[in-house]
Amino acid sequence: MSTTTATKTTTTFASALNTAMSDAMEADNSVVVFGEDVGTLGGVFRITDGLTKRFGTSRCFDTPLAESGIAGTAVGMAINGMRPIIEMQFDAFAYPALEQIFSHVAKMANRTRGRVRLPMVIRIPYGGGVGGVEHHCDSSEAYYAHTAGLKVFTPATVADAYLMLREAIDTEDPVVFFEPKKLYWSKAAEDLSTLREIYESRAEDSRKIGAQGQAAVVREGQDVSIISYGPSVETALKAAEAAAEDGISAEVLDMRSIVPFDEDALVRTVEKTGRAVVVAEAQGFVSVASEITARIQERCFHSLASPVLRVTGFDIPYPSPKLEEHHLPDVDRILDALDELQWED
């Protein structure tokens, strides 16, 4: 008699994104993918690898090196019934497209009183941790979050990479989808077929809530809340593990969706623990971390046992690769922030 040994299926963050686009294109002929080198090459990070071969050059194709033109073309396609997914090759490469995104993508629905919607996804690899040079490692989420009319998602796990991108593609409003590039090669014990089933069950049952506007507690704790999103969630979890060795029970909240913003989940965790540290790679001044901190102060003031602290990138242009480890929030800087909290009863 033969026996079968069960093996865990592992999936990379990059593969989850690729499969999400492939599944969406299979399900809906109006979904198209385009950008710089996304076709034959499969993108700089190979996130679109194989899509042109499978769906043809009319569904996944290369564009000129003109980000404003890429965004503007997507606007026209979305107005005419398509669901474009565009890739900005690197975070700071998207800046030439900001006029299109801010003036047209974000405002079209309001300008037309809802008659014209733009169901499009702007994929942006962002953040540091890969040894990139200037214009390759920016965390520019605050620009987009500040612009009314845009939704802003940023997954931190393999499962969310698939589920949140599928949800973004389905959304009738424009979504800026920030992908932490240092997580592209991370792996998790996730089965893509299982993720498909989760997505399909949500799509069939409107009572099931997806990631849009829903934060997630990724580690339970009692003493302090560490609030983060995107590439910093992994660092926050490592810091929580290290804090546990010193007897501090840290809860970690992954915001997942910056716009919409899950203020209720934020309030719940801070009212539970009474202390909060906000962690993000972006510069701290006028940032998403600033907004999170302000909302905690407004909603949870009487629950706080200590001032809210932030651990962020420094207020400087992104440094050279040799210095990025000093610029990015790490476990030691988070632990230092925890030490600064008031722990006396």
Predicted pLDDT of residue 296: 98
| Whether residue 4 has pLDDT greater than 80 | no
Enter the tokens of residue 143: 């620009």
| Averaged pLDDT score across all residues of the chain | 94
Look at residue 208 and tell me whether its pLDDT is greater than 80.
Answer: no
Using the 8-state DSSP alphabet, how is residue 149 labeled?
A: T
Q: Which residues are catalytic?
A: 136
Give the type of residue at 211: A
What average pLDDT does the segment 199-215 reach? 77
Residue written as token pair 């071969």 = 53
For the residues 323-336, what does the mean pLDDT come to? 96
How confident is the model over 238-263, as a mean pLDDT? 97
> How buried is 339 (Cβ within 10 angstroms: 0-12 exposed, 13-18 middle, 19+ buried)?
exposed
Q: What is the pLDDT of residue 213?
A: 80
Task: Tell whether omega for the bond before 260 is within 30 degrees of 0, i.e. cis.
Answer: yes
The domains found in the chain, sorted by start residue, are 11-204 (3.40.50.970), 216-340 (3.40.50.920)
Q: How does residue 345 score in pLDDT terms, banded at 50, 70 and 90?
A: low
User: In this structure, are residues 152 and 145 in contact, taking their beta carbons and an 8 Å threshold?
Assistant: yes
Has residue 1 got a pLDDT over 50?
Answer: no
Rounded to 5°, the CA angle 183-189-193 comes to 105
Helical spans, DSSP H, in the chain = 13-27, 51-55, 67-79, 98-100, 108-111, 141-145, 158-170, 192-204, 232-245, 263-273, 288-300, 324-327, 331-340
Say which residue the tokens 């949870």 belong to.
300
Model pLDDT, residue 9 = 85
* DSSP classification of residue 45: T
How confident is the model over 146-163, as pLDDT tens digits? 999 999 999 999 999 999
Backbone angles phi, psi at 283, to 5 degrees: -55, 150
Rounded to an integer, the average pLDDT of 97-125 is 97
Residue 267 confidence class, pLDDT cut points 50, 70, 90: very high
* Residues written for the chain: 345
Query: For residue 5, what pLDDT is reported?
Result: 45
